[in-house]
Amino acid sequence: MKKYTVFLVDDHKLFREGLKLLLETLNYIEAVWEAENGKQFLASLNLHKPDIVFMDIEMPEMDGIATTEKAIELFPDLNIIALSIYGNENYYTRMIKAGAKGFVLKNSSLQDVENAMANVLNGDNYVSQEILNRLINSIDKKKNLNSDFLTEREKEVLFHICRGLSNQDIANVLYLSKRTVDKHRENLLFKTDSKNTAGLVMYAVKNGIVDI
């Protein structure tokens, strides 16, 4: 039986180690390597060339999107599967554009992860069922959508607002200054003609920027 090597890129040590243990229970996994951010991963790519990479999106130093772009530039046939807690549109579309061949949510089952690996090794793309549903829903919503005038960054900030994050929190996850997030929020209020957070969230829900 052919065995495969896997590279986990994730800043959450606990998650990384848990997934490593899970993967090691599979008899066709030969080795599991780890990195805690994009830079570390890219640096060790020359030494360790994995069959599959699981890539987190939100990471310090260098996030999953930039890392994927760079890695695919260096090794175009690298099999990268995005691993994210959130299935929001910004994330999966950007990861796919960057060259990822799969997208799996962190609340998926090991079975999902296995499916993703099998498909990707077979040269196919893979997105988990949940993401697939969201994609289909978002296509329906796009039909009569009126939020094109929000920039990508604004939608991203809005998404995190809906998650209940404060501006400081958002600044932390996006690696920005809090004052920048303040400004994005201010612009969002103006653009969506809202008075406060409640209005922003309602707008996001109505326009499919967050899933209900």
Partner DNA sequence: AACCCCTTACGTCTTTAAACGTAGGCAAAC
Partner DNA sequence: GTTTGCCTACGTTTAAAGACGTAAGGGGTT
Q: Where does this chain bind a second copy (CB under 8 A)? A: 161-166, 194-202, 205-206, 210, 212
How many CB atoms are located within 10 Å of the residue 5 CB?
15
Crossing angle of helices 152-162 and 197-206, in 10° steps, is 110
User: Of these partners, DNA, a second copy, none, which one is at the site of residue 177 (CB under 5 to 8 Å by kind)?
Assistant: DNA
Q: Per CB under 7 A, does 189 bind DNA?
A: yes
Q: Per CB under 7 A, does 153 bind DNA?
A: yes
- Name the residue among 136, 126, 121, 137 with its Cα closest to residue 100: 126
Q: Which residue has the tokens 């893979």?
A: 126
Cβ atoms of 81 and 101 closer than 8 Å: yes
* Nearer to a second copy among residue 123 and residue 164 (C-beta): 164
How many CB atoms are located within 10 Å of the residue 69 CB?
17
Shortest distance (Å) from residue 148 CB to DNA = 9
Q: Out of 142, 186, 202, 205, which residue is the one contacting DNA (CB under 7 A)? A: 186
Q: Which positions lie near DNA, rule CB under 7 A?
A: 149, 151-154, 166-168, 174, 176-180, 182-186, 189, 195-197, 200
